Amino acid sequence: MFKSIVWATDGGQHADEAFPLVKQLAQDGNAEVTIVHVIERIEAAGAVGPARRVDEDEVQADLERRASDLSSAGVTASVEIRGDVGARPAHETADVARKKNADLIVAGTRGRSGLAGLLLGSETQRLLHIAPCPVLIVPSGEMRRG
């Protein structure tokens, strides 16, 4: 069904929870997977500073391992790291999806809703509004357990 899947990940636990579904969808449909990670940087007074995550190198190494895991499972996979963009992960993910002609974007979520989601400006929520293709949101395990 899907031939090109983009997995949007910030390297966190909630994004990781979407990986098994991405792998299964790719295997079932013989789809290519592009793992997209945007290095979020601290911004102040219009200047872009250091990465928000202190473990950025480990995150990127883990994503390379996941691409290798997908390849071992017979799935064509690549990793695309976007950096030096400030705080625009949703826009960068949508851009990659356009360039890859993606049929689907998969992302995880912490499950914030209501006022907290509005005040915090969820990147997942933003992605839903700007994506060039359907977006599949995988709720956190906490949300699925109720």
- State the pLDDT at residue 92: 92
- State the pLDDT at residue 55: 78
Q: Report how far residue 74's alpha carbon sits from residue 30's, in angstroms, rounded to the nearest whole number.
A: 8
In the structure, what pLDDT confidence band is assigned to residue 86 with cuts at 50, 70 and 90? low
Per residue in 13-50, pLDDT (tens digit) is 888 999 999 999 999 999 999 999 988 766 666 656 65
Q: Report how far residue 90's alpha carbon sits from residue 130's, in angstroms, rounded to the nearest whole number.
A: 8
Residues constituting the chain: 146
Strand partners, 7: 35, 106
User: Mean pLDDT of all residues in the chain?
Assistant: 83
84 CB-contact burial (10 Å; exposed 0-12 / middle 13-18 / buried 19+): exposed
